[in-house]
Structure 1
Amino acid sequence: METRLVPYETLSNAQKQQLDTLQVHPEQLAFSGDIYCALNSLLVNPNPASVKGFVLLAGDLPVAFLLLKRPPCLPHWADEHSATLHALQVDRAQQGRGFGKACLQALPEAALLAWPQIKGLELSVDADNVAAMGLYLTTGWVDSGEAYRGRIGHERRLRWVLNPQR
C-alpha cells in the first residue's frame, strides 16, 4: 500500500477524526505517550512554528503520527541546528506492517521541507526499548554514544545527519 508522510494541518476533518482514534499497545504508552497528549502538545503550543505534527497515511487512512520540535521547544540535549523527533506512534492495529519504518524513511525529506535550515534530526530513546532501538538503528540513525537519565530509565541519543555538505 502506498504511504506518504504529510503535515498534520493538511489532513481533512475526517482524517483528523480517524487520527483521534489511534492507539498504541499499553506497554508502549510510557515511551510514546498517547495520541491525545501528542495532539495536545501540538495544538496548544504557543509557537506553532517550533512544533510540527506529521501523519503517515496508508492510502488515505492515518496509521501513524509523530512530532518534530525546533527552538525554543528543543529538549536540553539537542543541538540548536537540529529538529528532534517525539511521540512516534503507529496504531496498534497497523503495527508490524512497516509503517514505523516508512515514517522514518520519509522523515528527512519532510523535515527539510518544514525547516530547510536544519542540519540534522535527533531523538532520545529509552535504552530498554529494544523494538524502537532496533527500528531506529536499522533505518540509519546513529547512536551518539551518549546516554543520560531519562524519566523512565537511561536514554540514548541518536542522530541523523541531513546533508553533510551543508
Structure 2
Amino acid sequence: MQTRLVAYEALNAVQKQQVGAIEVHPQQLPFCGDMYCALNTLLVNPSPGVKGLALLADEVPVAFLLLKRAPCQPHWADEHSATLHALQVDRHQQGRGFGKACLQALPAAARLAWPQITALELSVDSDNVVAMGLYLQQGWVDRGEAYKGRVGYERRLALLF
C-alpha cells in the first residue's frame, strides 16, 4: 500500500469529502478532537499559520492533522518551530501503521510548508501511553515539562531537524 502526506488544498473534491468522514474512537475525542473541529480550524478563518495535511493510502484519506505556526501556534511553542495538532487516524484504519506513516512523512511536509522552521513540537496527554510510545519511537524528545491540560497533565515533545 502506497502512502503519502499531502496538503488539504491539493485534495480533489471526493478526497476532501472522505477527509470529512474520518472518525476516531469516542475515547480519543478529548485528546484529538473530531474532524468537524479540525476542518473548522483550517477552513473557517484561513490563515497562513495553519496547514492541514491528509495521509493518503492508495489515494484514499486515512488520517489528518494540522500544523500551526505563529500567530496560530500555542504560547509554549518555540518561534522557530511548527506545532502538531489534531492528529486523527480513522478508527477503521487504526493499528495499520498510518500514525507512524504520518510522523515519518511530517518533517518533509512541514519544511515544504515553512522552510525556515527548525523543529516540530506537540503536546500529548501523559496518560496516553500509546501516543507517547509512538512519538518517542519516531525520535521525538520529551522536553521534561508537564502542565495541566484540558484532560490531564500534558507533556511537550519536540522533533529537532
TM tier, smaller: over 0.9
Please tell me whether the aligned partners of residues 5 and 55 of structure 1 are also in contact (alpha carbons under 8 angstroms): yes
Is 2:43 the counterpart of 1:18? no
Q: Give unmatched runs, 5+ long, in structure 1.
A: none
Alignment of 1:127-142 (within 5 A): 127-142=126-141
User: How far is the alpha carbon of 1:19 from its aligned partner?
Assistant: 1.0
Q: Secondary structure at the match of 1:67?
A: strand
Q: What secondary structure does 1:105 align onto? A: helix
Cα deviation digits, residues 43-92 of structure 1 (max 9, x gap): 0235x210000000001100000000000011011001100000000000
**Aligned twin of 1:33:** 33
Partner of 1:49, secondary structure, is coil
CA contact (8 A) 1:45 1:51 kept: no
- Residue 6 of structure 2 is aligned to residue 6 of structure 1: yes
The answer to whether the aligner puts 1:88 opposite 2:87 as a matched pair is yes
Q: Secondary structure at the match of 2:17?
A: helix
- 1:160 is aligned to 159
- Classify the secondary structure of the residue corresponding to 1:96: coil
How far has the Cα of 1:36 moved from its partner?
A: 0.6
Distance 1:151 1:78 in 2: 17
Moved over 6 A (4+): none
Q: Is the 8 A contact 1:53 1:65 kept in 2?
A: yes
> What's the % identity of the aligned pairs?
73
> Unaligned regions of 5+ residues in structure 2, if any?
none
TM norm structure 1:
0.95
Q: How many residue pairs are counted as aligned between the two chains? A: 161
In 1, Cα distance between equivalents of 2:60 and 2:21: 12
Q: What letter corresponds to residue 129 of structure 1 in structure 2?
A: N
Q: TM-score, normalised by structure 2?
A: 0.98
Q: Which residue of 2 aligns with 1:45?
A: 45
- 1:71 is matched with which residue? 70
Q: Which whole-Å CA distance do the structure 2 matches of 1:97 and 1:67 have between them?
A: 21
- Which residue in the other structure is 1:104 paired with? 103
Task: Name the amino acid aligned to 1:82.
Answer: S
**1:144 partner amino acid:** R
Q: CA deviation at 1:131?
A: 1.1
AA aligned to 2:127 is D
SS of structure 2 residue aligned to 1:27: helix
Task: Check whether the contact 1:38–1:87 (CA below 8 A) recurs between aligned residues.
Answer: yes
